[in-house]
Structure 1
């Protein structure tokens, strides 16, 4: 019988923030154990350093220039196949829990059942998680202030000084990580032995705000943490144009960065705890060995790299690389570490090959069950503030953008991407090779505009009460931000 499939996805999770990756501080015992049972890919790349475009690439097996989902407000166009749709056609029951970031919120991409916990936009006021919060008289004030511009404009000085880092205002039982983990376990508990099952579990965290709940927020001592390679005391001249993005990164100091790191790591360790409970549920039910399990993220996080935070800037490795761990059914390739260049577009063909299912049209990705699978080049794009493309070969990376022009880095000699070699005659051949690869790739498909259809087919229509929930949450934010009468 084809295997069951469990996709576990995080948001804004640095590829090196795993114990299994040799991180000096962060604790991820559940994910480390998963890596010991499977394959950890050290050079896995996102297609786009933003949530929705990257997620559509994972689902569709296509580059963003092929599926057309250029922003966080976009719809996967009709006629584009996905691995959930292919598995549904093959008789699988398909479900997703957590953050999907679709427009419309419950867009039908192939999941029979959706239990959503969104973070931004209209989805927050439609989804299951915030419906339950509102019914319980709770509001995610910390998250709202960080994510919604109408509230962010009212944020106190402490928010800006700490770069949104702090303890969640929600108790652990109501934190999104706990809510998603609990519903994922319920979904696994309902798996049938008579049909194949697909479950996609997508956590909001460790995406900013870095707000672990009390009990987890104290898990790391900021003063005991190791600053990650690539941190600089100031913003390098080449990156000064990225200083003013979601925050002003110029005033970022080492003590504040350590606080941010402590809370970022705490959200990861809390997430890892929920992953451990989910995998234990699979083991208790005797389903772990025969399940294809994939852990990844949509994009990474600078976390001080070049004095930056979050994801708004050049496609340096910390923000465009993603963790990728695959446990294949049985004990195949246990404990392996793979250095080949792979991409998010490889997830869909890997799933369908394992499940003996077919997409409607051939996909450009590779089946990563093959130890030799990989790419000579991997590509990524970004079309937010400016058009930008990344091309990575085994040794070199080329970054190009409308505003900054071209930069070439030798990742063997300069893994932290400080020295631009684009004008160095000694590296002219490498530059020419990557420029040619970029030209071939860019001409592969006509670049479609952003596709947006708020009326696209959905699996559920849950917009009732949206205005009431928005008003409830706005009142809670206003109350929380009101000056102390004393």
Structure 2
């Protein structure tokens, strides 16, 4: 058995709906490289994120904790310095750790265990201090469409085509300067520098997150009229969905023609990512590193893309939003070509990476290894908006509990996989609803309690008696020790 440290390539997309990959049965989209990776690895058919928005979900995969544990409830929050992360654990084990692309941290370059980060951010202040936008500035370029969509200062002034297209527009940037190309090239450069073992690269693409703005010629890859609408499309909105959230773009105004154009550019963005992933996988093979590399592809959350006449992500935690693709290629291609139908969760990723390095996960991490332990889950959980909405999903049912209980919903997925018929008030299902409620309570109170927060460098009050030097404490403790020996 080899003593080499397993190389780790963790690739994350943003807002990638699970069934928008050839490996998940989509006949329209072209993703040959990810489909090939699936042939060499395991395709997880029931993998769920722990939050339906970027930062909370990313922090869960980073820390192996649920949002109520890591406390990163919004897209503007900080990883507690005392929490362990998979890059911290691998760094302690002697790995070279690097992140490229989107991190969505606050502060932008927070130390979460990566020795270096080359960042391409999209939301918040990160885009005004990251490497990618400095790269664009040096070339006198602005990602105009992305700014319209992501920065309120410009969105409120956006021209009519932006609103009419739902942000589905051809990028104003040449392909070589688009964020996908920049991240892909940086990933290639990093893998080119990899030594034989002990490398960790987190490669995180901004896309296919809205706006749906692929550059030419990728923008011409799909004809909208030739695409099959994804499962769950309705000709009009469901009343409960409109009551939950009217939409980043008004849901009730979405037309099939607009949706088809969004799909065409969304698919093009995914195929664009697939192209660069293919180059990186080929480089690993050329360098003789592919066999000894654990490769993970997943997304931080999904996308409605027409489900229930919805677009983007602000609403109930329906499956297209919280069910995400997960492909894992294990070292030596063990389990190649397998499809795993068991329930898995993003909190499992950190544990899987830590164990791949031969380490033990932290005691607070409630996840389990994706490599399989024989212990199958009965439920997966997701949390949103500081406890305003919880999802408890089993293989056959889904409960979405809302702070306003009138909005809570329950679905029998065996008979209603598209989550149309709310059975929350149906007497026939009360036993199952109670079972799912109890599972949530068990998880929060006992299985995944909030970890103890310790930050010894927290700011002290500014008074003389609090300004003691570190050596005073050590000397005092030694003095006590000597006195106790008398």
Give the structure-1-normalised TM-score.
0.90
Distance 2:333 2:34 in 1: 16
Distance 1:405 1:242 in 2: 8
**Aligned residue for 2:25?**
22
Q: Residues 367-419 of structure 1: CA distance to partner in whole angstroms, max 9, x if unpaired?
A: 111263542110001107x7000000111000111234321101111110001
**Aligned residue for 1:154?**
157
Q: Which moved more, 1:80-89 or 1:431-440?
A: 431-440
Given that residues 231 and 305 in structure 1 are in contact (C-alpha distance below 8 angstroms), is that contact kept between their aligned partners in structure 2? yes
Distance 1:243 1:73, change over 3 A: closer
- Mapping 1:51-450, distance limit 5 Å: 51-193=54-196, 195-242=197-244, 244-370=246-372, 372-383=374-385, 387-403=388-404, 404-444=406-446
Distance 1:391 1:303, change over 3 A: same
Distance 2:360 2:185 in 1: 32
Distance 2:63 2:327 in 1: 19
Q: Residues 239-297 of structure 1: CA distance to partner in whole angstroms, max 9, x if unpaired?
A: 12145231111111111110110000000000111111111111110111110000000
Distance 1:73 1:96 in 2: 19
Where 1:330 maps in the other structure, the secondary structure is helix
Distance 1:99 1:401 in 2: 30
Distance 1:254 1:405 in 2: 27
Distance 1:242 1:405, change over 3 A: closer
Query: 1:445: Cα distance to partner?
Result: 8.0
Given that residues 119 and 131 in structure 2 are in contact (C-alpha distance below 8 angstroms), is that contact kept between their aligned partners in structure 1? yes
Where 1:444 maps in the other structure, the secondary structure is helix
Given that residues 86 and 358 in structure 1 are in contact (C-alpha distance below 8 angstroms), is that contact kept between their aligned partners in structure 2? no
Query: 1:442: Cα distance to partner?
Result: 2.9
Distance 2:446 2:253 in 1: 43
Distance 1:424 1:25, change over 3 A: same
| Runs of 4+ more than 6 Å apart | 445-449
Query: 1:337: Cα distance to partner?
Result: 0.5
**Aligned residue for 2:464?**
none
Distance 2:328 2:236 in 1: 38
Where 2:272 maps in the other structure, the secondary structure is helix
Given that residues 50 and 66 in structure 2 are in contact (C-alpha distance below 8 angstroms), is that contact kept between their aligned partners in structure 1? yes
Distance 1:448 1:129 in 2: 35
Given that residues 86 and 350 in structure 2 are in contact (C-alpha distance below 8 angstroms), is that contact kept between their aligned partners in structure 1? yes
Distance 1:94 1:41 in 2: 26
Given that residues 367 and 373 in structure 1 are in contact (C-alpha distance below 8 angstroms), is that contact kept between their aligned partners in structure 2? no
Given that residues 299 and 326 in structure 2 are in contact (C-alpha distance below 8 angstroms), is that contact kept between their aligned partners in structure 1? yes
* CA RMSD, 1 decimal: 1.9
Given that residues 243 and 308 in structure 1 are in contact (C-alpha distance below 8 angstroms), is that contact kept between their aligned partners in structure 2? no
Q: Residues 337-363 of structure 1: CA distance to partner in whole angstroms, max 9, x if unpaired?
A: 001000000001111111102344352
Given that residues 82 and 348 in structure 1 are in contact (C-alpha distance below 8 angstroms), is that contact kept between their aligned partners in structure 2? yes
Distance 1:11 1:149 in 2: 20
Q: Which has the higher contact order (CA 8 A, sep 6+)?
A: 1
**Aligned residue for 2:473?**
none
Query: 1:34: Cα distance to partner?
Result: 0.4
Distance 2:245 2:111 in 1: 38
Distance 2:375 2:127 in 1: 39
- Unaligned runs of 5+ residues in structure 1 are 457-486
